[in-house]
Amino acid sequence: MLRVYSCVVGEHNLWLVLVAGLICALAAFTAFSIFEQARQSQRRRPLWLGLAGFVSGTGIWATHFVAMLAYQPEIPIGYDLPLTLLSIAAAVLVTGAGWFIAARGGLRAALLGGATIGAGIGTMHYLGMAAVKLSGEMVWDERFVAASVLIGIALSAAALAEQGRRPEALPWRPALVLTLAICGLHFTAMSAAFIFPDFSLAVPPAAIDSDMLTIAVVTMAIVILAISFIMVLFDRKLARNAAEEAVRLRTFADAAIEGLAVIDGDRILDANRSFLQLAGYESVDSMPAELSSLLPELDLDSLAVHGDAPASECRLVRGDAGVREVEALIRPLAWRNAQLRILAVRDISERKEAAERIAHLAFHDALTGLPNRAVFTDHLARSVEQAVATGEPMAVLCIDLDGFKAVNDLYGHPAGDAVLVGAAQRLRSVVRGNELVARLGGDEFAVVQLGGSQPTHAGLLSERILAALDQPFTIDGHLVRISGCVGTALFPADASSPADLIKNADMALYRAKAEGRATARFYEAAMDEALRQRRQLDADLKHAIDNEELAVHYQPLADLGSGTILGFEALLRWTHPTLGVVSPEVFIRLAEDSGLIIRLGEWVLRQACTEAARWTPRLKLSVNLSPVQFVQDDLAATVERVLAETGLDPDRLELEITEGLLIKDSERAIAILQRLKAMGVQISMDDFGTGYSSLSYFRMFPFDKVKIDQSFIREMIANPQARAIIRSVIGLGRGLGVPVVAEGVETAEQLEALRDEGCDQVQGYLIARPNPIGHFTGVIVDRAEATVRRRGAA
């Protein structure tokens, strides 16, 4: 060590040593920079490695010769040209080989490459020393020679290892270590040399002198500096190009509607603006680094396996903890040297929501949001299957609102809708996990209850439903009161198929409704038969008009004072082909329920008017009207048309209505009655005393006649109260100037009592039973005869 120190300090020009060191450091720095460039480039790697070899080789050589210039042994020195050139070539080739080895990557390659470079430094140095021609003899201390070579190899290896440790950093540290290797080798080797001057040995004339060498070295140093300078410039331009390229790419990426992110494994390296917006972050830095925390469901590996895998749908967890449905797509991305991937995500939340809304609409009732009939049917079928499989019982409950139509009529459809929504909400609140409630249509709902112990659980559910619907609703500030009826059928007790379960629950519901509001009924086998018969009768009635099974009978009304017949009431008769005579009490009700009464009513009217038009004398005709017939707006027009067609004078027609008509939709009904009255038709109040029998009816409409219901006549002898009522109705009629008719007079006793009370007219079996018109030829002149007589008069 001391010897090396005295060699450097004592035998060298220190300024020039410093210059040599600088040249060496500069060359090492440049060589490492080029080496790093080579490692990053793929196509031009050999070129860059070759250049690294050239820079390191010539750098070492320049260092060596500047250091030789600094060496002042005080005897003339020259250099042998071929050997000098050979030393340069050897330095370039051997260090170049070292760079090639190190470029393979890894610590071993770095150490081996570094050692080779060290060997290159040694080769250059000793070839260079062999080129030295001086007047004297050079003797070598072999231990120092070995030490110098070892220093060169070890430090070079260390330099390359250091570079491999931090390839991205500016290569100051490896350059410094390599400089130490070169200078260490050089000066240790110089200490190994002893020169014994022998002036008999002259420097050969062919040898190049120090001046020449200086020029060569300076040239070489300039070349190295120039290369470094160009390198730096080139690097700058590359960096600028890269920056411009990056800006261009980012502009492109940010313009993309899709969210784009560059990922390395699970790590997010960069993202465009759309991605940040979608994920709800301001910048890439504020975003979580792991992709899995943004897209927890995304299976990166399965996407990665197929380079062109289709997009997969998953959820994206936003920065604000909100969730978005996205479609994600991954494509490989070759970037610099790394194999990265680019992830494209597209927001499909809206599309999904729309699809879900459509699916919901297909299966749910738009108004109440309850499952619709399709869902109910499907659910019922599956429940029955399950009940069969598990042996559990189940129940089907059909629900119908009471008084819903009235709400609609009274407060309008929006209020009706509000009631339905409210009822649905309450039904939803009373059903449990094993129960599904659906809206089947209109004000009909149904529940499927699976399991439980039956009929107990179905019974409890019905009670919950009745209680829930019985609470009033507040709609538009009105307190609206409705209720509901429930019909229940059980599986397997009442039916074994879904269709029969619904049918039987419906039947139970029908029965419940018939018994009054807020009623629940279980299905009973007997209902089945009753309903079946009813349906059959209903169907039969439809055919009855066409099959001439219907006929009109007539019952006379007599003046109580004179006993003369004033007119006839038309009463409908039906003789069923198998059942025989069916009571009007039964079939009129049926026809009212099915709406058939409208056709039937018009038929009776036409038949009776045609008949009465032929009568002489021109007696009165009474025809009964059902309240249901007033649903038609054109009832008055129908009557007018029938009168015109049959030729009956309007003032011979009396229409009988019951007070029920005035309770329901009085304004409309009165309007129709007024139109009829304006035509000259008379209006009678039938069955007076059975309903509310309010005197206000007479204020509402000026009736032409009042018919006291036959139940009072039947009791008037035995029951003084019935008689008192009859008396007061007769008094009322007298006060209003309206004739009063007593119906159902069967006995002479009744007749006398009525005469005593001052009743105007009577009707009943005592006078005559209802019969076909032919039965009354004694009262009205034979129709054929009448026709002839009228012709004669004309």
**What amino acid positions are annotated as catalytic residues?**
743
Residue 735, φ and ψ in degrees, nearest 5:
-60, -40
Distance (Å, whole) CA 731 – CA 759: 9
CB under 5 to 8 A by kind: which of Ca ion, ligand C2E, none does 174 bind?
none
- By CB under 6 A, the residues from 732 to 761 that bind ligand C2E are 743-746
- Maximum distance among all Cα pairs of the chain, rounded to whole angstroms: 189
CB-CB contact of 260 with 271 (8 Å): yes
With 0-12 / 13-18 / 19 or more C-beta atoms within 10 angstroms meaning exposed / middle / buried, residue 290 is middle
* Type of residue at 215: I
For the bound state, the minimum distance from the C-beta of residue 554 to Ca ion, rounded and expressed in Å, comes to: 12
Contact 488, 396 (CB under 8 A): yes
Segment 660-719, which members bind Ca ion (CB under 5 A)?
Answer: 686-687
The residue assigned the tokens 């410093």 is 18
Minimum CB distance to Ca ion, residue 686 (Å)? 4
Among 136, 403, 492, 584, binds ligand C2E (CB under 6 A): 584
Asked if 585 touches ligand C2E (CB under 6 A), the answer is yes
Instruction: Please report how close the Cβ of residue 659 comes to ligand C2E at its closest, in angstroms.
Output: 12
Binding ligand C2E by CB under 6 A: which of 124, 182, 183, 572? Answer: 572
Rounded least distance, CB 551 to ligand C2E, Å: 11
Q: Is 654 in the site for Ca ion (CB under 5 A)?
A: no
Q: Any idea what the Cα angle at residue 370 is, between residues 365 and 373, rounded to 5°?
A: 60
3-class SS of residue 783: helix
Residues β-bridged to residue 196:
137
Asked whether position 715 contacts ligand C2E by CB under 6 A, the answer is no
Nearest to 157 by CA among 106, 117, 100: 117
> Pairing mode, if any, of strands 682-688 and 312-317?
unpaired
Give yes or no for residue 626 binding ligand C2E (CB under 6 A).
yes
Which one of 319-327, 688-696, 716-724, 739-747 is the stretch in contact with Ca ion (CB under 5 A)?
739-747
Task: Please identify, among the stretches 410-418, 459-467, 529-537, 582-590, the one whose residues bind ligand C2E according to the rule CB under 6 A.
Answer: 582-590
**Residue 770, binding choice from Ca ion, ligand C2E, none, Cβ under 5 to 8 Å by partner class:** ligand C2E
d(CA 740, CA 684) in angstroms, rounded, equals 10
Contact string 73-112 vs Ca ion (x = CB under 5 A): ----------------------------------------
57 binds, among Ca ion, ligand C2E, none (CB under 5 to 8 A by kind): none
Work out what residue 498 binds among ligand C2E, Ca ion, none; the CB cut-off runs from 5 to 8 Å by kind: none
Say how far residue 101 (Cα) sits from the centre of its chain: 62
Under rule CB under 6 A, residue 607 binds ligand C2E: no
Q: Is residue 567 a contact point for ligand C2E (CB under 6 A)?
A: no
- Residue 281 — φ and ψ, nearest 5°? -125, 155
Is 659 a binding residue for Ca ion by CB under 5 A? The answer is no
Q: Is the peptide bond before 617 cis (omega within 30 degrees of 0)?
A: yes
User: Which tokens hold the place of 421?
Assistant: 């929504």
Selected from 607, 624, 629, 682, the binder of Ca ion by CB under 5 A is: 624
User: With b meaning 16 or more CB within 10 Å and e meaning fewer, what string describes 745-779?
Assistant: beeeebbebbeebebbbbbbebbbebeebeebeeb
583 belongs to the binding site for ligand C2E (CB under 6 A): yes
Binder to ligand C2E among 555, 607, 646, 682 (CB under 6 A)?
555
Q: Is 624 in the site for ligand C2E (CB under 6 A)?
A: yes
Q: Which is nearer to ligand C2E, 13 or 638 (CB)?
A: 638
As a whole number of angstroms, the distance between CA 124 and CA 159 comes to 18
- Report how far residue 521's alpha carbon sits from residue 515's, in angstroms, rounded to the nearest whole number: 9
- The distance of closest approach from Cβ of residue 684 to ligand C2E in the complex, given in angstroms and rounded to an integer, is 10
Instruction: Compute the distance between CA of residue 481 and CA of residue 483 in angstroms, rounded to an integer.
Output: 7
Question: Among residues 213 and 762, whose Cβ is nearest to Ca ion?
Answer: 762
Stretch of 205-213, 313-321, 485-493, 580-588 contacting ligand C2E, by CB under 6 A:
580-588
Here's the x/- map for ligand C2E, 457-476, by CB under 6 A: it reads as --------------------
Is the Cβ–Cβ distance between 736 and 747 less than 8 Å?
no
State in angstroms the smallest separation of the CB of 691 from Ca ion.
12
Q: Residue 468 class from Cβ within 10 Å (0-12 exposed, 13-18 middle, 19+ buried)?
A: middle
Tell which positions 636-665 bind ligand C2E, by CB under 6 A.
656
Find the helix or strand (DSSP H, E) in which 148 lies: helix 142-165
Name the residues that contact ligand C2E, by CB under 6 A: 555, 570-572, 583-585, 588, 601, 604, 624-626, 656, 686-687, 710, 743-746, 764-765, 770
Name the residues that contact Ca ion, by CB under 5 A: 624, 656, 686-687, 743
